[in-house]
Structure 1
Amino acid sequence: MDDFIEISNTFAVTFVVLQAVVKSIAVVHRNEDITYIIRQMAALWPKEEHLTERQTVAKMKHLKRLNVCVTVYYYLNIVGSWQYILVPLLETLFRIFILNQHSMLKFPFGCSFPFDPTESWSRYLMVYAYETFAMIKLVYFLVGTELLLITMTAHLSTLFTLLSDDLLILKPSSKADDDEITYFEADRHEKKIGDIVRRHQKLIKLSKMFDAIFNKVIFYNVTVSTVSICFFGFVAKIAKNPGEIANNVVGVIASILPIFNLCYYGQLLTDASSSLALSAYLNIWYAKDTRFQKMLGLIMLRSQAPCCITSYKYAPVTLNMFTGVMSTTWSYFSLICSVYEE
C-alpha cells in the first residue's frame, strides 16, 4: 500500500507542477497583451466622484468579495504548501529523537538523485532545503497566475456591472419634451449614450482578448485539476498516517477552490455582460428620440451574445462547468477506489 500511496502522491504533485509551469509560460509569452488589457481596464475604471451611491455600494461589494476570495486562496495555498513540505521532516525528527525509533529519513517529494541523499544529516537537510525552495517557487508561480486570472475576470465583471447601471440611470429627454430642452442638454445626453456605447464596445474587445489569451490555459487547468483532485482524495482516503491524510485533504481543497473561484467569476462576467440588454430595455426606449433608440438597439444587439471566458473556446466557464468538473472528478475518484479495492 505504501508504494501505491507514493505513486499517487507523485502523480498529484507532478500535475500541480506542470500546471504551474504551463500557466507561467502562458503569462510570460502574452505579457504585453495582458499588460494592455490591465491598462485599458484601468482607463475604463470610473472615478469615485462620478459614481452614484448605488454604484459605489455595488463596487465595494464586488471588491470585498474578491478580496475575501484572494485572501483565502492565497493563505490556504501558502500554509498548505508549508504543511505539506514540513510534515515529513517533523515526523522524521519526532520518531528519531523523541520516540527513539529507527526511521527512514523522509522527503516531501519522491525524487531521484545521482547520490544517496540520506548518507548523512547534512546531506539530508541540504536536499530537503533544495526540494523546499524549488516547490515553494513553483507554488508562487501557480498562485500568482491563478490570482491574476481570477482578478482580471472579477474586474471585467465589475466594469460591466457599473456600465449597466450607468445605462439604467440615463434619463435623456423624451419626444414630448424636445421643445423644452436646450441644445446643450440634448448634446450632453447624446454624449452620455455615445460614451456608454464606446465603453461597451471596448469591454467586449477586452473580454475577447482575455479569452484568447487564457482559454487554452483554462482548459489545461480544468483537466489537470480534475486528475489532481482524484489523486489527492484517493491518498487521503487510503492513507493511515494522520500527516498524510491532512496533507492530501488540504491538497483537495486547494485544487477545488481555484476552479470554483474561476467558474464563479466567469458566471458573474456572463451575467453582468448580458444584463446590459435588460438595462437598455428598462430605459423607456420607446419614449426617446430616434438616435437614442438606435444606440440602445445597438447595445441590446451586442448583449445578445454574453461575454465570457471559455475552456478552449468551447465550453463557457460558469458554475455549470464547476458542477460538471466535480461530477467528472467524483466518477474518476470512484473508479480509482474500485480498482484499488479489487
Structure 2
Amino acid sequence: MTSKSDVYFRRELQMLRRTGISFAENEKIAYRIYSSLCYFLLFGYPFVAFSDLFKHEFDIVADLLIYELATIMVCCEAFVVILNKKKLKALLSKLETKPFLPNFERGGEIEEKFLKDFSIVTERQANICWGSVFSTVGMSTIATLIKRIRSNDHRNWEFTYGPLTVLDVTRSPYFEITWLYQIMCVTVIGLSHSSIILIFSEILGHTSVQFKMLQNNLMQITENAHRLMTQEPRGAAEHQEVDASQIPWEYLQKSLNEAISYHLSILDVTYEMENIFNMLTLSIFMFSLAVTCFQVYHASILSAFDVRFLKCFTDSSSALFPVFLLCFWSHQVAHESEQVAKYVFQANFAGSDLRLQKSLSLIMLRSQRPVLLKAGKLIEISLPTFVSIIRASYSAYMVLRSVHEE
C-alpha cells in the first residue's frame, strides 16, 4: 500500500509564483503581465542602483556595494531557475511519485513518520525565512516612513536600502515614488531569494530522508522477502523471528532488486540536482563571500558599541544564512548516504543465500563513498566548508581590527 501523494513543495512554489516565477504552463494573460512587472522589479533594480552607486562618499558606496552584490546574486539565482524551469519541475514531480512516496509494505509506518517529521522542519524553516524578509523590510519601511512624516526637510529623509537619485528625491512626490519603488523591489528580491533557497534546501532534505527510508528498507530485506514468500501482510507477524536460510533465492532476489532500484533512484536525484544547481550554488557562495568581505571590512573600522556594527553583524548573518542552510542539508545527505552501509550490516542475512550476501557487500562498498555535492563542481557543500568560511571571516576581521587600532 502506498500512501497518497502530497505536494511537498507547494508552499515554496506558491511563494515563487507570487514573485513572478511560475512553473505552470499556459498562464493567463493577466498573470503574464504581473510576471513581467515582477521581472522588471527583480532584474531592473540592480541597474538602477548601479547608476547611483558612485555619486556618494566612500562609506555610503561601501554600503551600496553590499546591497548591489546581494541583488545581483538573487538575479543570478532567478535566472538559473528560469533557465532550468522544465528540469526543476520534472525533478520536483519525480520526488512526489513512486518510489519516493512512503510505502507501508516496503518499510512500515516509520516511512510516513520520517516524511511527517521532515515536513514539520521545512514548515518552520520556511516561516523563519519568509518571516525574516517581511520583518526586516517592514521595520526598515516603518523607520523611514516615520522620518518622512516627522520632517519636511529633505535632508532628514531616508531610503530603506541606500539612496536613489534617479529622480529629484529632494521634492515630494518624487521621493515617495522612489521610496515605494525601492521597497517593492527589495520585497520581490527577498522573497524570490528565500523561496529559491528553500526549494533547493528542501530537495536536499527530502533526499536525506529518502536515504533514511532506504536504510530501514535494507535492514528489513530478508523480512520483506519472507512476506513475499508467505503472502502475509505487514503486521501479521511483525516480531516473528525469520530464518533467512529458509527463504529461496527467488524471493530474496525480488526484495533485493526493489531495494537496489530504490537506491539507484535516490542517487539519480542527487546527480540531477547537482547538474541543475551547481552554477546556482557557486554564485551563492561567491556573492555571499563578497558581501561578507565588505561587511568584515566595514565592521573592523566601527566601534563594537556602534549601532552600525550591529547592522554589519546582522547583514553578514543574512548573507551567510543561505550558505549555512545549503551546507547543513548537503551534509545531511552525505551523512545519511554513508550510514546506508551501517544499516545493511544490521540486516538479517546470516545463513541466507550467498548471492544475497555478495550483493549486500557491494551495496556496503558503494555506500562507503558518501554523496558529496559541490558548488560549480569545485567547492564541497558541507558543514566543514561553512565552518572554514566563518573562521576565515573572523580571522580577517581580527587582522583588520588590529591594523586600524594601530
**TM-score, structure 2 as length reference:** 0.72
Residue of structure 1 equivalent to 2:258: 195
CA separation in 2, counterparts of 1:278 and 1:268? 16
- Greater CA drift, 245-254 or 189-198: 245-254
Q: CA RMSD in A?
A: 2.9
Shift of 1:289: 0.8
C-alpha spacing 1:260/1:221, structure 2 compared with 1 (3 Å): same
Corresponding residue number in structure 2 for 1:46: 101
Aligned residue for 1:287, secondary structure, equals: coil
* Mapping of residues 1-342 of structure 1, within 5 Å: 3-43=57-97, 44-47=99-102, 49-50=104-105, 51-94=107-150, 96=151, 103-110=155-162, 113-118=165-170, 120-171=171-222, 172=225, 176-178=245-247, 187-232=250-295, 235=298, 238=302, 247-337=311-401
Task: Evaluate the alpha carbon distance shift between residue 102 and residue 92 of structure 1 in structure 2; reply closer, same or farther with a 3 A threshold.
Answer: same
Cα shift at 1:211: 1.0
Q: Give the match's secondary structure for 2:377.
A: coil
The 1:48/1:206 distance shift into structure 2, 3 A limit, reads closer
Cα separation, 1, equivalents of 2:149 and 2:403: 35
Question: How many Å apart are 1:147 and its aligned residue?
Answer: 0.9
Is the contact made by 1:222 and 1:325 (CA closer than 8 Å) also made in structure 2? Answer: no
Return the alpha-carbon distance in structure 2 between the equivalents of residues 6 and 242 of structure 1.
Answer: 16
Q: Residues 143-183 of structure 1: CA distance to partner in whole angstroms, max 9, x if unpaired?
A: 111111111111011111111111112224656325xx6xx
TM-score under structure 1 length normalisation: 0.84
2:185 partner amino acid: A
Matching residue's letter, 1:252: S
**Structure showing the higher helix proportion among its residues:** 1
Tell me the secondary structure at the aligned position of residue 129 of structure 2.
Answer: helix
CA distance in 2, matches of 1:159, 1:106: 49
Check conservation: 2:102, 2:112, Cα contact below 8 A.
no
- Alpha-carbon offset, residue 113 of structure 1: 4.0
2:209 is aligned with what amino acid?
T
CA deviation profile, 1:25-51 (whole Å, cap 9, x unmatched): 111111121112112221232336445
Structure-2 change in CA distance of 1:54 and 1:196 (3 Å): same
Note the residue ranges of structure 2 that are not aligned, 5 or more in a row: 1-55, 227-242
Sort the Cα spacing of 1:246 and 1:103 in 2 relative to 1 into closer, same or farther, 3 A: farther
Cα contact 1:274–1:305 (8 A) shared by 2: yes
SS of aligned partner of 1:20: helix
Equivalents in 2 of 1:30, 1:77: separation in Å?
25
Offset from partner CA, 1:210-244 (integer Å, 9 cap, x none)? 11221222122122212323434655673899875
Retained in 2: the 8 A contact 1:30–1:213?
yes
One-letter identity of the residue aligned with 1:138: I
Contact 1:21 1:141 in 2 (8 A): no
Q: 1:189 Cα shift?
A: 3.8
Q: CA deviation at 1:332?
A: 3.6
Cα distance in 1 between the residues matched to 2:70 and 2:402: 24
Separation (CA, whole Å) in 2 of partners of 1:236 and 1:156: 38
